[in-house]
Amino acid sequence: MITLLNNENYSREEILAMMGSDEFYYGHLGKHALSSSSLKTLLKSPKTYRNVIKYGSGDSPALRLGKLLHWAVLEPHKMDALKVVDATTKNTKIYKEALAEHGEVYLRKEISESERLADALLRNEEVLRLLSKSEFEVPEVAMIEGLPFRAKADILRDDMICDIKSSADLATFRFSASKYGYDLQAYLYLKMFNRKKCTFIVVDKSSTDVGIFETSDEFIEAGRAKFIQAVGIYKYFFREENDIDQYVLRGIL
């Protein structure tokens, strides 16, 4: 039985079937289940997590590019259904009118950028090998530490999970992987999908060079420590209802 944060109960099979809907997965479960993204937000600031749940987060340029890149590589049929406008920026009248009419629109340059990066990945033989005989965008749900978690594996193979990322600089990806909580994501996904290996497929946004990064035991252990810390923060403020205004981030400089 899966019990959501709003106390709705579902069987695992029932909720997995519903997770095929982006509206349910990102909308309803975005508010009423935890994920690697929400845990990373909790680590950054429980107040930010509260605000995101209450008001939404919006799409940053990085999130929009990531979404388009995943679609272009893994679900290209979704690209065909997008509303695209030939405007220079989102501040133009044509973009705002299209947004008001369709709800979700993209600039032509955003589509072109995602296709440029996707093309680099799909020309790489090592990437094609990892994509071969794999499942894409596989949803999973689980109760962990008494809390509901949602996840989608980009690429699921017999023994491993692969996740697609873009990077401003491949040379520093190993550092940004820790900074952006990819270790936490790797730990949670390995646990939820019952796999032994997690590999990141990374494309450099400038050069379009491709990187394949496997994860070490130390990397996964760092993710486990972050997971424990984030779950503790959630329980303290949102289950035990301690005063979130008393939250203080402490450190020594």
Q: What sign has the CA pseudo-torsion 79, 80, 85, 86?
A: positive
Domains and their CATH numbers in the chain: 2-246 (3.90.320.10)
Using the predicted structure, report yes or no on whether residue 58 has a pLDDT greater than 80: no
Q: What is the pLDDT of residues 140-189, one digit of tens each?
A: 999 999 999 999 999 999 889 999 999 999 999 999 999 999 999 999 99
Beta strand 147-156 with 210-214: parallel, antiparallel or unpaired? unpaired
Q: What is the pLDDT of residues 202-212, one digit of tens each?
A: 999 999 999 99
Q: Identify the pLDDT of residue 10.
A: 95
Report the C-alpha gap between 79 and 73 in whole angstroms: 10
Global pTM value? 0.91
Report the C-alpha gap between 74 and 68 in whole angstroms: 10
Residue 7 identity (one-letter amino acid):
N
CA nearest to 233, candidates 249, 216, 221: 249
Dmax over Cα atoms in the chain, in whole Å?
53
Report the C-alpha gap between 107 and 158 in whole angstroms: 37
User: 12 — phi, psi (to 5°)?
Assistant: -60, -40
Rounded to an integer, the average pLDDT of 206-233 is 97
